[in-house]
Amino acid sequence: MFNALVLEQEEGKTLSSVKTLELSDLPDEEVLVEVSYSSLNYKDGLAVTGTGKIVHKFPMVPGIDLAGVVKESRSPDYQPGDQVIMTGWSVGERYWGGYSQYARIKPEWLVKMPEGMDAAKAMSIGTAGLTAMLCVMALEESGITPDRGTVVVTGAAGGVGSVAVAILSQLGYTVAAVTGRESTHEYLRGLGASELLSRTEMAEPARPLEKQRWAGGIDTVGDTMLARVLAETDYRGTVAACGLAGGYKLPTTVMPFILRNVRLQGVDSVMCPVDIRTTAWNRLLTDLPDNALGEIANVIGLSDVPQAAADIVAGKIQGRTLVDPNK
């Protein structure tokens, strides 16, 4: 018997409750994992609160991330005792996820825990941190080095944004952080941001081209803010876009692309191939300072998830939230 947060639907409303389940209730996948930690991402917030169509079938155990120890395995690639990480692959949306003491997972969705990392650190990072690392790698791949100038990060006090600020700063980039919350300024400076910009100012609709300010950008917000970042990006700069916290539209023009050779690089962590994921997890071990993670992460139990989910959707969460299903 073990505990899991279960989502059910009643008259079109999503209801969540902590339930006691048996191992035979879990889907029949090859690897049984005892979950040490999961985490709370924006998408988990949408799933648990029933905002947006994230969950494809009910009942659902949400939680798009998990880290833990293999208990049983029918796959030759994993043995009992192996430490593993799972993020993405529509787990917590189509397949039962990490807000549970146990989960059964397909072996091809697992990544071996990098040497020197543990489940708590992995889930302080989670999908949000992995996405931040993939965004930084996208900037590097397009030649954006620290000497090129300032990199702007939007939604900076959120999960993806916080980790992006910390990694960029560790790698020697000058970072400008865009936030809607003045209360997070000290936190963002602590992570390494040297310039703080207001969300209101950066969400103002831009002209097709504005004064060049950014060597690169990591955008978690979308809509007019991404359009402004593009209009302000330097000649041959790159913007990595991964989120839509401010909206899914992109009211821009071709001008930044055809006159300034600006590159817009999409970043997805959900279906990201395993070799790139493994590289990113190993990079996170070295490029994300432990003291930054201490600042970033709070720990909650399963029964705290519904409130935290409402808070992340309302934009009230700072940094990363770990979920301890054994708490």
Q: What does the binding site for ligand NDP look like in residue numbers (CB under 6 A)?
A: 41-43, 127-128, 131, 155-161, 179-181, 184, 199, 220-221, 242-246, 267-270, 312, 315, 317
Q: Which is nearer to ligand NDP, 41 or 265 (CB)?
A: 41
Query: Which phi-psi region, left, alpha or beta, contains residue 265 (left: φ > 0; alpha: ψ -120 to 50)?
Result: beta
Nearest to 86 by CA among 295, 270, 263, 289: 270
Q: Which is nearer to ligand NDP, 26 or 160 (CB)?
A: 160
The CB-of-10 to ligand NDP minimum distance in angstroms stands at: 26
Q: Which is nearer to ligand NDP, 77 or 201 (CB)?
A: 201
Nearest to 102 by CA among 28, 4, 6: 4
The CA-based angle 198-200-205, given to 5 degrees, is 125
Q: Which is nearer to ligand NDP, 319 or 325 (CB)?
A: 319
Distance between start and end Cα atoms, the chain:
15
Nearest to 298 by CA among 46, 59, 120: 120
| E strand or H helix at 70 | strand 65-73
Residue 250's identity, in one-letter code, is L
Q: Which is nearer to ligand NDP, 24 or 200 (CB)?
A: 200
- Quote the CA–CA distance of 109 and 77 in Å, as a whole number: 12
The CB-of-84 to ligand NDP minimum distance in angstroms stands at: 20
